[in-house]
Structure 1
Amino acid sequence: ELDYPAADRYVYSSYRGTGGVPIPHLWQRFLYAWHFRDLRILLSRELSPSSRFLYRRQIRERVRQVMPFLLYDQDPYLVIQGGKLYWFFDAYTTSSRYPYSEHLPGFPFNYIRNSVKAVLDAYNGSIDWYIADPRDPLIQAYARIYPSLFQPLEAMPEPLRRHIRYPQDLFRLQVQQFAAYHMTDPRLFYNREDQWQIPNQFRNRRRLPMQPQYLILTLPEEPQKGSPNRPEFVLLSPFTPLNKQNMVAWMAARCDGENYGKLLVYEFSKQRLIYGPEQVEARVNQDPAISEQIALWNEHGSRVNLGTLLVMPIETSLLYVQPLYLEAEQGRLPQLTRVIAAYEDRVVMEPTLSQALEALFSPTGSRRSNR
């Protein structure tokens, strides 16, 4: 097969992995000809006793074919380690019969646990299954049924284990539930007087709920044993009151080391107004210099595409950062053109993030670039 084009030639390669099904016998070729409805498998002279069939190569289809009784996260991610590529899948055990538990709208289950981490070798197609939550009774039953299939999480090689992250789909469900169940006072809960919601964001010319975002930040916690907190990889989602736009809290899922899986909720004082994502976007649109520049770029065959608005906690304050991409109407190749940053009542737009932060926190106040 074609590997890659060189300067004046094409470089070809043959598959040298361990994946695939060998077909050394005629009866096997006959079965595959019937399976794929392709008579050429029987007649072709290109096939030899050392040939192998590689199929079900779509990663989602492959893991579901092996473990159809598990539910899989919608966002598998790729890891490069030791010169090889690995796909990570977060798999869930689910049930619709958990006592005294409600069903979320649109979901056929009322119990879900991220019990399995699946690692797929992108070259060989082999899959290793690791038990991430040994306390889950469902995965305990599956492990007894398939004793040689599942491995403990400690058996995952350490270089790969460092890339484990908290799954987005599970966190999204937890955030949705916590918006109501953070109320511990029965009277507040019954009257829904302190109901939260996931804020909206303007994406693709539509208002959509904000998706949780992975960030590297220093959590505002008390230092452990006198040592300062270090930056860590977290999955974060903000909250606003129901039918309001100011921010009241944010929730983070930790992903590093022994803190993996721990959820942290930070609530803001109700006596202080904290701008929410929709209010920050409104302030950006109302800024004369920024809105004028965006309107100018939206003409003459180009289009402005605002990226995801990132909410980054810094101690007891919030910093908002949003990339601005410029793309041609014909090419549709986005180019990072500006970075918008907001802090409290100040909004700036600069060519780079460092320049935006410098302008945002400069002693002379905010300055805006419309170049």
Structure 2
Amino acid sequence: LGDPKTGKPQFNLTSAIVGYKRNYMSAYLQANSDPQNYGKLTVLKLPADSQTPGPGQTQTSMTTADQVSRDRNLLTGGNVNKIKYGNLLTLPVGDGGILYVEPWYLERNTGGPNAPSFPQLVKVLASYRDKVGYGATVKEALDQILPAAGNAATDQPGQTVTPPTQGATPPANPPPPTGSTGKDAAVKQLDDALRAVQDAQKSGDLGALGKALEQLQNAVNNYQKAGG
């Protein structure tokens, strides 16, 4: 979080507070965790007549948005995948505005409680006032609700980003590695599968993402067979 007076970043533990038996936010609590102000509590109180949606209401409005619902149905069809939501972040922005950001993960159903499975970031949800943002990255989601805010919130000095080819299709799954070099081949297959998932996430192609996740699961299985 940024200090409202200096604009410098701070490390804070935060919590959104709703009124008793109400769904609207009533206050925002933050505990400073920087050494110089460690333990200092700050409470930002909303006006008594405010009707700012709380975390529960916002979670519902974001996850039931049209595009979000369509993508969720597409990716979870046939019970092959399951959706997992990350922590819902609540941040005060501007003059009384509340920004919500939440990651959205996809995990393949592998058919057994002890089978390995790796949640993968698929989309990012964001909400500000009455707008809902939805994109493959935090930047994309923020730009939909606060134009040009994505760069300011995510760009770091010296950081460069190379966008993936749109609609990129992950390579076909190679056969299980065998022989004395099987483990090394399995590691390479696993690395390739992870890169394919990342490229598919950035491209926004949900069909390619489904194939990439299948490729990743096969790579994990092959790695285990190779003694990984």
Name the structure where strand makes up a greater proportion of residues: 1
Corresponding letter in the other structure for 1:232? Q
Equivalent residue of 1:282, what SS? helix
1:218 counterpart residue number = 2
* Structure-2 change in CA distance of 1:322 and 1:334 (3 Å): same
2:39 counterpart residue number = 261
Equivalent residue of 2:77, what SS? coil
Q: Percent identity?
A: 30
Cα distance in 2 between the residues matched to 1:285 and 1:229: 32
Segment of structure 1 superposing worse, 338-347 or 250-259: 250-259
1:243 counterpart residue number = 21
Q: Is the 8 A contact 1:284 1:290 kept in 2?
A: yes
2:75 is aligned with 1:324: no
Q: Is the 8 A contact 2:62 2:126 kept in 1?
A: no
Cα distance in 2 between the residues matched to 1:360 and 1:283: 14
2:160 counterpart residue number = none
Name the structure where helix makes up a greater proportion of residues: 2
Cα distance in 2 between the residues matched to 1:337 and 1:306: 10
Following superposition of structure 1 onto structure 2, how do residues 60-75 of structure 1 map, counting pairs within 5 Å? none
TM-score by length of 1: 0.37
- Name stretches of at least 5 consecutive residues in structure 1 with no aligned partner: 1-216, 364-368
1:337 counterpart residue number = 122
Q: CA deviation at 1:343?
A: 0.5
Following superposition of structure 1 onto structure 2, how do residues 48-87 of structure 1 map, counting pairs within 5 Å? none
Cα distance in 1 between the residues matched to 2:102 and 2:128: 12
2:99 is aligned with 1:306: no
Cα distance in 1 between the residues matched to 2:147 and 2:37: 36
Equivalent residue of 1:295, what SS? helix
Cα distance in 1 between the residues matched to 2:42 and 2:205: 39
Cα distance in 2 between the residues matched to 1:219 and 1:285: 31
Aligned length, in residue pairs: 144
Cα distance in 2 between the residues matched to 1:284 and 1:259: 35
Per-residue displacement from partner, 1:215-260 (whole Å, max 9, x unpaired)? xx0143xx3xxxx241100000111011111101011110113211
1:348 counterpart residue number = 133
Corresponding letter in the other structure for 2:2? T
CA RMSD of the aligned region, Å? Answer: 1.9
1:281 counterpart residue number = 59
Q: Is the 8 A contact 1:284 1:291 kept in 2?
A: no
2:57 is aligned with 1:272: no
Cα distance in 2 between the residues matched to 1:254 and 1:263: 6
- Structure of greater Rg: 1
Per-residue displacement from partner, 1:2-42 (whole Å, max 9, x unpaired)? xxxxxxxxxxxxxxxxxxxxxxxxxxxxxxxxxxxxxxxxx
Cα distance in 2 between the residues matched to 1:357 and 1:287: 16
Equivalent residue of 1:312, what SS? strand
Equivalent residue of 2:11, what SS? strand
* Relative contact order higher in (CA < 8 Å, ≥ 6 apart): 2
Equivalent residue of 1:232, what SS? coil
Q: CA deviation at 1:321?
A: 0.4
Q: CA deviation at 1:326?
A: 0.7
Q: Is the 8 A contact 2:132 2:144 kept in 1?
A: no
1:132 counterpart residue number = none
Q: CA deviation at 1:370?
A: 8.8
Cα distance in 1 between the residues matched to 2:205 and 2:118: 22
- Name stretches of at least 5 consecutive residues in structure 2 with no aligned partner: 111-115, 149-203, 207-228
Equivalent residue of 2:71, what SS? helix
Following superposition of structure 1 onto structure 2, how do residues 170-249 of structure 1 map, counting pairs within 5 Å? 217-220=1-4, 223=5, 228-249=6-27
Q: Is the 8 A contact 1:218 1:314 kept in 2?
A: no
Corresponding letter in the other structure for 1:310? L
Per-residue displacement from partner, 1:259-308 (whole Å, max 9, x unpaired)? 11111011011222211001101112331221121122112411111111
Following superposition of structure 1 onto structure 2, how do residues 125-164 of structure 1 map, counting pairs within 5 Å? none
Q: Is the 8 A contact 1:289 1:370 kept in 2?
A: no
Runs of 4+ in 1 over 2 A off after TM superposition: none
